[in-house]
Amino acid sequence: MHPTQTPKTYRVKSFGCQMNVYDGDRMAELLAEQGIAPAPEGEDADLVVLNTCHIREKAAEKVYSDIGRLKREDGSSPLIAVAGCVAQAEGEEIMARAPSVKMVVGPQAYHRLPDMIREASEGRRVTDTDMPAETKFDALPRRRRSGPTAFLTVQEGCDKFCTYCVVPYTRGAEVSRPHGDLIEEAKRLVEAGAREITLLGQNVNAWTGENARGQTIGLDGLIRELAQIADLARIRYTTSHPNDMTPGLIAAHGEIDKLMPFLHLPVQAGNDRVLKAMNRSHSAESYLKILEQVRAARPDIALSGDFIVGFPGETDTEFEDTLKLVDAVGYAQCFSFKYSPRPGTPAATMDEQVPLAVMDERLQRLQAALNRDQYAFNTATVGKTCTVLVERKGKLPGQWLGKSPWLQSVHFEADAQVGDLVEVEITSAGPNSLGAVVRMVAAA
Ligand code: SAM
Ligand code: SF4
């Protein structure tokens, strides 16, 4: 495509967290509404949106190599828009470093993409990293398509300011979307085919709103109302902060059948000095206490978390406390990362940055413990009967893939279709997935 023509096809490529996946889907809907079609698989797109993540160093570097790879053999490039958190944090640098990028758009401004595309099609380079008062959600098209599982962003931004994290700077202050808008969007997603909705937020459990009777409710209240949507079978939420695990939300795990028995509750480290330096405002003990309460409410709950190894100043003994916490919890699955200094965050300039080799060694030890526990959790589900939501075909003929209530991937053979809820007995366990035989299929 010549740079001064309006694009006819698009491709959106999202990196990083599930909130970016949600934003990427919404951008795709917005572009489709402008009459721009998704580029067929394997074909060049006229417009490429790179929806970036800034949480760790390599993610940002990947964007630059992706921009390079978009260059065609004849030297031309598609119309490139860089969106997401790298755009927010490094917009000017991107414009200076990558001349083929024509648009830079922050996570709170992407509803303005159609205007930006018009300007870029006329040959101008445009940056919009505003955090406007009007919300992008009001300007986005209504949801019309959905697979069996859907994301629904209910809350954005963060006021917690953990000392290692860029999110409060790239996504702005904590904002909850209004209750009515969320109920409406959830209903539309269900009408469009969703059977499971995952509520998303940087601190999803900080969500608060006013219900139709004018009462202030928290995330548990919202989940209770969503559970009334007849054809919605499953509800999940992520990511939560330990300090926002209210008694009501903990109790909801024991009271709402549609709320799946899975909780992702990042702790980051097991040592209190490190947690304090991270500005986490919870201790290892208070975190374990919350998990104890959640387990009392829902004994079969699968627990998940995030960890950072090698935070500045973390000693070997302090790292051992993280391993102890892992042993105490017995997680079903986790994410673990090497600390990555993020420009502009307090931790980036702290003394005693931990050498890479030490971080590598700690991460290996932590991941060995987490993998051991994940395999043990999977093995413990063998012999259990549960429902699986069918998400897609497997590699083998007649094979289907779906998720257990505990978010494990399950494969099985069945006469089923995408969106069915299938009752299975788990018959085998591997480190990353389960095998099962079907007992009953409930049609979508
Ligand atoms: N709000 C969530 C919470 O409080 O746990 C986490 C959201 S953050 C987008 C996802 C994860 O990225 C964090 O839980 C943390 O483990 C990891 N992370 C954030 N900043 C990081 C950094 N500078 N280096 C390494 N990992 C980081
Ligand atoms: Fe980042 Fe901490 Fe906010 Fe989570 S709570 S998004 S880790 S600042």
User: Rounded to an integer, what distance in angstroms lies between the CA atom of residue 393 and that of residue 371?
Assistant: 26
How are beta strands 79-83 and 101-105 bridged, if at all?
Answer: parallel
**pLDDT at position 133, please?**
61
Nearest protein Cα to ligand 1, atom 15: 306
> Looking at the CA of 310, which ligand is closest?
1
Q: What is the pLDDT of residues 276-322, one digit of tens each?
A: 999 999 999 999 999 999 999 999 999 999 999 999 999 999 999 99
10 Å Cβ neighbour count for 54?
A: 24
- The alpha helices in 235-283, defined as continuous H runs, are 247-255, 272-277
The phi and psi torsions of 71 (rounded to 5 degrees) equal -65, 130
Pocket test for ligand 2, best of 56, 164, 166, 167 (most atoms within 8 A of CB): 167
Beta strands in 143-297 (DSSP E): 149-153, 155-156, 175-176, 196-200, 208-210, 216-218, 234-238, 262-264
**How far, in Å, is the centroid of ligand 1 from the Cα of 266?**
8
Which pair of tokens denotes residue 283?
């201790």
Shortest CA distance to 107 belongs to which of 23, 22, 42, 178?
23
Which pair of tokens denotes residue 311?
């935070």
- Give CA 48 to chain center in angstroms: 21
Q: What is the pLDDT of residues 111-121, one digit of tens each?
A: 999 999 999 99
Contact yes or no for 389/442 (Cβ under 8 A)? no
DSSP at 112: G
DSSP at 229: S
- The alpha helices in 70-129, defined as continuous H runs, are 84-97, 113-121
Q: Which amino acid appears at position 317 of this protein?
A: T
User: Rounded to an integer, what distance in angstroms lies between the CA atom of residue 94 and that of residue 86?
Assistant: 9
Query: Residues lining ligand 2, judged by CB closer than 6 Å?
Result: 158, 160-162, 165, 167-168, 202-203, 241
Identify the burial level of 278 via C-beta atoms within 10 angstroms of its C-beta, where 0-12 means exposed, 13-18 middle and 19 or more buried.
buried
Which pair of tokens denotes residue 78?
């598609």
Tell the residue number behind the tokens 């394997």, with chain if given.
42
| Long-range contacts formed by 312-316: CB under 8 A, 24+ apart | 312/277, 312/339, 312/347, 312/350, 312/351, 312/352, 312/353, 312/354, 313/274, 313/277, 313/350, 313/351, 313/352, 313/354, 314/269, 314/271, 314/274, 314/339, 314/354
Bridge partners, 196 (sequence order): 149, 234
**pLDDT at position 444, please?**
63
As a dihedral over the C-alpha atoms of residue 265, residue 270, residue 274, residue 280, rounded to 10 degrees, the angle is 20
**pLDDT at position 4, please?**
55
> Looking at the CA of 241, which ligand is closest?
1
**How far, in Å, is the centroid of ligand 2 from the Cα of 308?**
12
User: Rounded to an integer, what distance in angstroms lies between the CA atom of residue 169 and that of residue 345?
Assistant: 9
- Give CA 89 to chain center in angstroms: 19
Nearest protein Cα to ligand 1, atom 1: 202
Contact yes or no for 89/54 (Cβ under 8 A)? yes
Per run of 10 residues, the mean pLDDT along the chain (length 444 residues) is: 74 91 92 93 92 82 89 89 91 92 93 93 91 77 86 94 94 92 95 96 96 96 98 97 97 98 98 98 97 98 98 98 98 97 93 95 98 98 96 92 98 93 96 92 64
User: Rounded to an integer, what distance in angstroms lies between the CA atom of residue 290 and that of residue 416?
Assistant: 39
**pLDDT at position 61, please?**
80
Residue 421, classed as helix, strand or coil, is: strand
